[in-house]
Amino acid sequence: TPPPPSLIPVECQRELLENIDFPGTDIKHEYSPDVHHCQQLCTQYPSCLFFTFLRADWTNDKRHFYCYLKSTPSGQPKVQKVLSGVTSGYSLKPCGPNPQPCLSRVYPNVDFLGADYRTLFTSDYEECQRVCTKDPFCQFFTFINGVFTPENYRYKCHLKFSWTLPRTLNVNRKSGVVSGFSHSVQFSEPSDTPCSMKLFPSTDIVGGTLESQFAGTPEHCLALCSAHPRCTYFSFESNSFTCRLKNNANELVIQAKEGVTSGIATHFCQQNSDWAKTALEGVDFQGSDIRFELLDDAETCQKTCSIDQNCQFYTYVDDSFHDSAYRRRCYLKRFTTMPAPPKVSKLTNVVSGFTLRNCI
């Protein structure tokens, strides 16, 4: 259970503490190329209140670029101690953060490992970054320079993907709860051209599953498919809220199946997102809690989520819920949507960086 709002720090603390460790109280670790990216990860991770980052000059072991996300009930680290090669700091949640921060720095001799969806050859890393910035799917890149060995990989530009849309960790049916999305969240790239959204009710598209996510509705599943560079179409199973993203550019084989809605990814158009404004009765978006507040109804919960820059979706527990201790709780939730490499490591003669779309 997340802490109530009275225990969440409200003071904006931007300062970074070089060679200071906040030991213990880890939630998890992620990878970051520098401390500023780590601070943004902590800001976006729902329960993270402070962090410790292991820099490139860390010498105790090989955990370079580890970003340890941390939390305590008080919102403050229990201990601070001097430790060379680390930098610590606080979540920027109280600072009114930008949900898509500009990450303009590039990182020589740093590899963003994995998450590739497209490769090409470019003359320098600047061109590789331009291609990444122009490609709506690209969130970060690694470029291999002209002196890399083996030489047959030189000038290769790896475009990489991470999710920019809110995703729910788990969705299930539960009496006495209502869930929904912030009305401020954008589910597709802005466009003057409206999408012609093609959904096939009571229909499954056979095979080709790329990955599975949870989604609240078929339209949410469509938005996820359209945001993924390799998703050509999807099948949404309403009983389990499973969104199966599929990849097959050669054929589309359908079969009748009750409880399944399928559809085709949209491209370069504005999706109708009215579905995101409809509350889902008896549906629980589990996990990803920032905090909860005690509120009178689900509509007030939705409005509270929509005006909170950190909140992307919510679950409200109403007065019919079986356990009276949880009634009237409005759980405000979010998922990391900033560019996040799955692994960061040292590698000579490469350059890595991020899309500059958020810097315009």
The DSSP-derived string for 252-320 is: --EEE-TTEEEEE---SSB---GGGGS-EEEEEEES-EEEEEE-SSHHHHHHHHHH-TT-SEEEEE-TT
Helix (H) or strand (E) holding 41, with range, is helix 35-44
Q: Which two tokens stand for residue 285?
A: 């978006």
pTM of this prediction? 0.93
Which residues, in sequence order, are CB contacts of 152 under 8 Å at separation 6+? none
DSSP conformational letter for 125 = H
CB count within 10 Å of CB 109 equals: 13
**If you classify domain 168-186+275-336 with CATH, what class do you get?**
alpha beta
CATH of region 16-90, choose from 3.50.4.10, 3.40.50.300, 1.10.260.40, 1.10.274.100: 3.50.4.10
Q: Which two tokens stand for residue 132?
A: 């990444």
Q: Which CATH superfamily is domain 206-272 in?
A: Hepatocyte Growth Factor (3.50.4.10)
**What was the pLDDT predicted at 1?**
47
Helix (H) or strand (E) holding 134, with range, is helix 125-134
DSSP conformational letter for 324 = G
Which residues, in sequence order, are CB contacts of 124 under 8 Å at separation 6+? 143, 145
**What was the pLDDT predicted at 198?**
87
Q: In the chain, which segments carry CATH 3.50.4.10?
A: 16-90, 106-163+338-354, 168-186+275-336, 206-272
Backbone angles phi, psi at 208, to 5 degrees: 75, 20
Rounded Cα–Cα distance for residues 108 and 160 (Å) = 17
CB count within 10 Å of CB 322 equals: 9
Rounded Cα–Cα distance for residues 244 and 191 (Å) = 26
β-strands 66-70, 107-113: how paired? Answer: unpaired
Which residues in the chain land under pLDDT 50? 1, 5-7
Please say whether the beta carbons of 35 and 51 come within 8 A.
no
Please say whether the beta carbons of 97 and 337 come within 8 A.
no
**What was the pLDDT predicted at 97?**
82
**What was the pLDDT predicted at 2?**
52
pLDDT by residue (tens digit) across 28-39? 999 999 999 999
Assigned CATH for 106-163+338-354: 3.50.4.10
Amino acid at 359: C
Please say whether the beta carbons of 311 and 293 come within 8 A.
no
Amino acid at 185: V
User: Which regions of 72-128 does DSSP assign to beta strands (E)?
Assistant: 81-90, 107-113, 116-121
